[in-house]
Amino acid sequence: MADTAEHSKHQIVGHEHSEADVRIIIETVIGLILSVAVVCLIVWGVFNVFKVQIDKSGTRVSGMAAPPFLPPPPRLEVQPFLELRGLRAHEDDVLNHYRWVDQSKGIVHIPIEKAIDEVVGQLPQRPSAPGGQNAARR
């Protein structure tokens, strides 16, 4: 508080000229503005060079596909329940219907239930023990 009274006696107004040089501040601001302008001109020139290259070749320099660009699979499923329903319908069709695999060789795809019955029919049968399964074993 004492310092405030002392400053008011000496009539100090403004800033200390030895600490902040207005000329340096103004030169710095002008330098920054010029630097930003030069960088903007360089970027504008690079974009124009790319634009000319695209116009000449008809393709993009980066090699990416034109929009809309689809990413490589796997892709996001928008309605997964519909895709799952379609997959199950296709699997059902393959498992439960007859179709030709190779007609010239006579190879036919048969329904899975029919294939199971044929395989079970070809398996060897065990002879049954007298008295069945619950007979006393000795």
Indicate if 10 and 51 belong to the same structural domain. Answer: yes
Q: pLDDT digits over 115-126, tens only? A: 999 999 888 888
Q: Which stretches does DSSP call E strand in the chain? A: 99-102, 107-109
Indicate if 51 and 86 belong to the same structural domain. Answer: no
Judge whether 137 lies within some domain.
Answer: no
Indicate if 15 and 53 belong to the same structural domain. Answer: yes
| pLDDT > 70 fraction of the chain, expressed in percent and rounded | 71
Q: How many CB atoms lie within 10 A of CB 54?
A: 13
Residue 41: helix, strand or coil by DSSP? helix
Q: How many domains does the chain have?
A: 2
pTM greater than the 0.85 cutoff: no
Range of the domain at 51: 2-57
Indicate if 53 and 100 belong to the same structural domain. Answer: no
